[in-house]
Amino acid sequence: MVDGEKASAPPLLRLETLLALGLDQRTAENALVNSKVTANLAAVVAEAGITGCDKSVGNLLYAIKNPAQLDAALSFLTNTGPESLDIGKFEEACGVGVVVSIEEIQSTVSEVLKENLEAILEQRYHINVGGLCGQVRKRHPWGDAKATKEEIEKKLAEILGPKTEADNVKPVKKKKEKPAKVEEKKVAVATAAPPSEEELNPYTIFPQPAENNKVHTEIFFSDGNIWRAHNTKEILEKHLKATGGKVMTRFPPEPNGYLHIGHAKAMFIDFGLAKERNGHCYLRFDDTNPEAEKKEYIDHIQEIVKWMGWEPYKVTYTSDYFQALYEHAVELIRKGLAYVDHQTAEQIKEYREKKMDSPWRDRPIEESLQLFEDMRRGLIAEGAATLRMKQDMQNDNKNMSDLIAYRIKFTPHPHAGDKWCIYPSYDYAHCMVDSLENITHSLCTLEFDIRRPSYYWLLVALGLYQPHVWEYSRLNISHTMMSKRKLNRLVTEKWVDGWDDPRLLTLAGLRRRGVSATAINSFIRGIGITRSDNSLIRVDRLEYHIREELNKTASRTMVVLHPLKVVITNLEDGKVIDLDGKKWPDAPADEASSYYKVPFSKIVYIEKTDFRVKDSKDYYGLAPGKSALLRYAFPIKCTEVIYGDNPDDIVEIRAEYDPSKTSKPKGVLHWVAQPAPGVEPLKVEIRLFEKLFLSENPAELEDWLGDLNPHSKEVVKDAYAVPSLATAVVGDNFQFERLGYFAVDTDSTPEKLVFNRTVTLRDSYGKAGPK
């Protein structure tokens, strides 16, 4: 990179410049032929502040051949400066004279993969490629890192073949059989690897703030020029002084909708890194679009962030910095790096596709300054002008094609009021506010990777502090929709019952369904913080973590969804026996709070599906002449079936109970009884939810609305519950035995409780969860 205070990239070196560095005529001429070598050398020369030097120094600079050496050189010069340059130390620090051939890299990669072959075959594409690269780097610190990674990936593909579906799913560790005692130690050594540091602490991959002086990214221009974005020693020292060396992150949602589970991953990374490093995380509202933002969304986001267990250092708004952003825009125009443009959106798109400059790109600076002032004062019509950054219209990266910095909108701002009628774009404001807030780690999803050059272009052009940018894979979960635009459509067109519909994976919907923040964060930690491809994660993985959490926190109780009346003929009329039901499977006998009262009376209700007229060997429910055990109560035996108007309409069963419990039936049924003679059991409403979409990845479908599951919600109006559930309140979770985990819904009233099924007891493969 050029010095951060310069407005443009360093010019490619001329012959006389190279000769002034002490290079001989032939070496200088050969260097000029290779534009990449010349650009590399230009960046180092600019950073070192050298315009002329003796031959030994010039040859040292010329000897820097690859990015690893260049980064070391820039870091060395940033920390020492040209005034105290020690050639010997410089040579040692940069590996000058060390050349690692591609053949050496290939040979070492083969050795490393051979040494790790057992782990590779076991873990396949889940093997830590970064760890393999690190092993190669230890042997060749000055080898080309990119070539090393490419060679490793190539060799892995040769060894393992194409990726299978299983390679995209995190494998479940199987329990190993106990080996013979003699071989126990040997087997453990061969197969049981301790968890990596990254698995124990996912934040170890991020550098410390004081290390933020290395090259962030290379910005390539169509004319062959290269900027190497990094902080100078002075800029970094100023930043560290302002922050006290602390990690500073930000969670920057746009307040144009409710947050979903993808935002939970962003929070886990942004807030989690700051917490782990004893730093701070801002909650910053990216409110650059006044037409889409609402106070409802702002209030929701603040409340849900707190519910997820995170505490912001400060709550800020991009609009807090509108004045500073405007002043920097004026500075950009003065430097000749921004201009007022009058092209329409269609013309801008056309010119970008054709890599053509706007007709107004080279207008005089003073003219752009006056027009931008007119824009600010509201003297130019909406859509008639924009301010564009003068980047590189011929660049292959369309995110360098003179992005729009400001546009005119005669719309009052929810936070800033009516002070402004020009608003900054995301591409202009985002990086600038990161810098103004002294953010150390700017973390975002992988789709923003292509915007890195424009992010750093603006900070370099203005000589501002540059945060460390890192992108991670976006969270994609099966059978749902994560696009805010499509979620908004589902809500506004009433395909679902609001932003907190329990079928949605919005955080409000998950909470209403009965999912805890702990379970969500556990799920996020389980999938990890990686830059892997955006593979689709099955919703079953989320449900696993939900079950694990609810198994520990949800007390057990009994509810009958579709009641079938059972008359206990050998129990005297009016008699009610109070039994104890266990709230927890391991409830101690002497702890009354771990039990709830279950009345057993002459009229009992079981599930309709727990009775069959025709019995079979593999059926453990109730049938004529067959017995089943009522949970926490007595065995009962069906003695008679009472039919309605047709043979399929069973209205009542008559049974006898075994007060001595001498019979031992295999089947165990949940049930609810009349709490007193003639008194109906507690009636509750139950809502059963299934996947919202039929397809695993509805986002790929053109007619995604046509893929909505018509059976995603079933309402059972008159289920029966045990009396103790009458005191349940919103926020309470229960395991309804044999049915699943349920939570009290916000639609509950004093007259009638409503429960949402959070998750079934078994996953979609039929595997039972904890009991």
Q: What residues are annotated to the active site?
A: 254, 474, 484
**Residues 221/456, Cβ–Cβ less than 8 Å:** no
Return the bridge partners of 406, or none. 387, 424
Amino acid at 764: S
Distance CA 236, CA 427 (A): 23
Write out the H or E segment, with its range, that includes residue 715: strand 713-721
Separation of CA 383 from chain center: 35
Amino acid at 589: A
354: its two tokens: 């054709």
Contacts of 91 (CB under 8 A, 6+ apart): 60, 97
**Residues 487/257, Cβ–Cβ less than 8 Å:** yes
- Strand-pair category, 563-568 with 603-607: antiparallel
**Residues 337/7, Cβ–Cβ less than 8 Å:** yes
Phi, psi (degrees; rounded to nearest 5) at 582: -85, 130
642: its two tokens: 């009472």
Cβ atoms within 10 Å of 287's Cβ, excluding its own: 26
Collapse the DSSP code of 735 into the 3-class scheme (helix H, G, I; strand E, B; otherwise coil) and give the result: strand
Note every long-range contact of 62-65, with CB atoms under 8 Å and residues 24 or more positions apart, other chains counting.
Answer: 62/21, 62/23, 62/27, 62/31, 63/94, 63/96, 63/97, 64/40, 64/94, 64/96, 65/99
Amino acid at 420: W
Distance CA 452, CA 475 (A): 20
Phi, psi (degrees; rounded to nearest 5) at 758: -75, -50
Cβ atoms within 10 Å of 227's Cβ, excluding its own: 24
Collapse the DSSP code of 244 into the 3-class scheme (helix H, G, I; strand E, B; otherwise coil) and give the result: coil
Which DSSP category does 341 fall into? Answer: E
Phi, psi (degrees; rounded to nearest 5) at 521: -65, -35
Collapse the DSSP code of 4 into the 3-class scheme (helix H, G, I; strand E, B; otherwise coil) and give the result: coil
Contacts of 120 (CB under 8 A, 6+ apart): 113, 127, 156, 159, 160
Q: Greatest CA span in the chain, whole angstroms? A: 115
Which DSSP category does 694 fall into? Answer: S
Residues recorded for the chain: 771
109: its two tokens: 């990669």
**Residues 627/666, Cβ–Cβ less than 8 Å:** no
Q: Could you tell me where the DSSP H helices lie in 277-390?
A: 295-307, 322-334, 345-353, 365-376
Collapse the DSSP code of 395 into the 3-class scheme (helix H, G, I; strand E, B; otherwise coil) and give the result: coil
SS3 string of 583-618? CCCCCCCCCHHHEEEEEECCEEEEEHHHECCCCCCC
147: its two tokens: 């070539």
**Residues 43/6, Cβ–Cβ less than 8 Å:** no
